Amino acid sequence: MDRKISAAKAESTPGEPPSFDSPDPALEAQLRASEPENWTPPAQKHVEENIPLLPPAEITDETLTPILRELLHNLALRGFFVLHTGHLSDRELYAELWGRGLRDPAHLPGRNPRGGWFHDFLGNWGDDDMQLWLRYYAIDADRAKHATEFPNDKIPPKEKPPCNRDWRLPKGPF
């Protein structure tokens, strides 16, 4: 194996990556399709299809929940799914989707049995997000494992999320 590695290094030109056999054309096409230049913000898709997206300030409290449910359903039809939303109120969730989730470029595969685009409302899983996960989403075994692996982290008390909605959200294919 060492000889093969040395031979491959000797064949490559300095400053250029080593050459490899070209991958399967179907795989190459799939990878190319998922590159950022092919990504579209979900809000743009809604505009192209004449589906109204109201700013959060224009939605009354009475109409917010049905509008949010319809939006999440429409997004799921395009292959866009949300995760960890129970710690947010309906208004906070809609505002976050409006302000960032629908504006960020995404690869929307449509109805795809093997994948989708997942927007996690725990963000980048930094310290604050980890505390939210431990408080609202982690099962007891995960909380115990976290306490063992990170003994200096404070483990918050387990609570039910204020909005019990995640169980009824459209689910991805896995």
Per the rule left: phi > 0, alpha: psi between -120 and 50, beta: everything else, 110 is left
pTM (two decimals): 0.73
In this structure, are residues 18 and 11 in contact, taking their beta carbons and an 8 Å threshold? Answer: yes
Cα gap 164→98, rounded to integer Å: 21
**Strand, coil or helix: 86:** coil
Maximal CA-CA distance, the chain: 71
Contact 85/119 with Cβ under 8 angstroms?
no
Helix, strand counts (H, E) of the chain: 7, 2
Give average pLDDT by consecutive 10-residue segment, the chain, 174 residues: 56 48 65 66 86 92 95 89 94 93 82 79 88 95 95 94 90 74
The Cα-based distances of 148 to 66, 95, 142, 155 in angstroms read 42, 36, 10, 11
Q: Determine the Cα–Cα distance for residues 137 and 15; give it in Å rounded to an integer.
A: 47
Separation between Cα atoms, residue 81 and residue 112, nearest integer Å: 12
Predicted local distance difference test score (pLDDT) of residue 12: 46
**Which of 56, 105, 109 is closest to 78 using CA atoms?**
109
